[in-house]
Homo-oligomer: A and B are copies of this chain.
């Protein structure tokens, strides 16, 4: 059906889209590759498995959300979130907020009620802000060429996350792109703990950069969060508890039985293959496109995720 082919754009966060068969460029073709061709030509070494000790599964009534945590960028918060998860803190809590074109947020609906709030005996109630870290070699920041970003001197990728950097101050931080996960906080900077988290569900709110601690990004199941009915209260908070979906559980992937895991690989962002992918987004080669942008903004670069391919037979 021709209709189904409109906007022939492979959105790589959709797992099935990654599986779309794509012909590699033939030798006689001189045209630069499309995104599908770049992906089809990747080698196993262009991908990395998720670190299961730093991967979370959120189980919602509608399905699973998989979050890759970023301990290099927020070590204390990631440790605290994992402590909360290990004591099953989140099980039975809820989505608290769903604001259109901004964020969806989850945690304890009674967090502000001293009598009803769920206790956190084995975790910190607040953690000092981790809004940026030192731009060391270990952080592995790769700048986007020709970035023209308004929010930071440099933007690019670090360890598979969208990031921004200021070489002058020597700092680097994760950028608020779609699906990024951050820590809710009150007015004072050090009031977040990871017990309340949010994910970006709309146009990249980059003005939040360096105003919250970013702890990771959704690598699968984002649609479970983005389609939550919008809250009717101020800022998209639900006015009645029954409107927010219940969190069945949050678990660290390594603690989930092997048969129940979601095996995913993330494309490495420091390879020639990834540079080719970025180039294929700067100038779209698919026949549908007529005007080439010659540019791609940080948050429009997909960081591909795919099911782990079966091991080759010996």
Contact = CB atoms under 8 A, between A and B. Distances in A.
A11 B101 CA distance: 9
Given A234-B17, A235-B4, A207 B100 contact: no
Interface residues of A, number: 75
A185 B288 CA distance: 9
Contacts of A223: 100, 229-230
A203 to B, nearest CB: 5
A280 to B, nearest CB: 11
A55 interface: no
A6 B299 contact: no
A179 B9 CA distance: 19
**At the interface, is chain A mostly helix, strand, loop or mixed?**
loop
Contacts of A111: 3
Interface stretch (A77-85, A243-251, A289-297): A289-297
24 contacts: A2-B186, A3-B186, A5-B187, A6-B184, A6-B235, A8-B235, A14-B100, A16-B232, A16-B234, A17-B234, A101-B226, A147-B150, A150-B295, A150-B296, A202-B202, A202-B226, A203-B203, A204-B300, A206-B293, A207-B281, A207-B289, A211-B291, A223-B229, A227-B227
Interface of A: 1-9, 11, 13-14, 16-17, 20, 96, 99-103, 105, 111-112, 131, 147-151, 177-179, 184-187, 189, 196, 198, 202-207, 209-211, 222-223, 226-230, 232-237, 281, 284, 287-291, 293, 295-297, 299-300
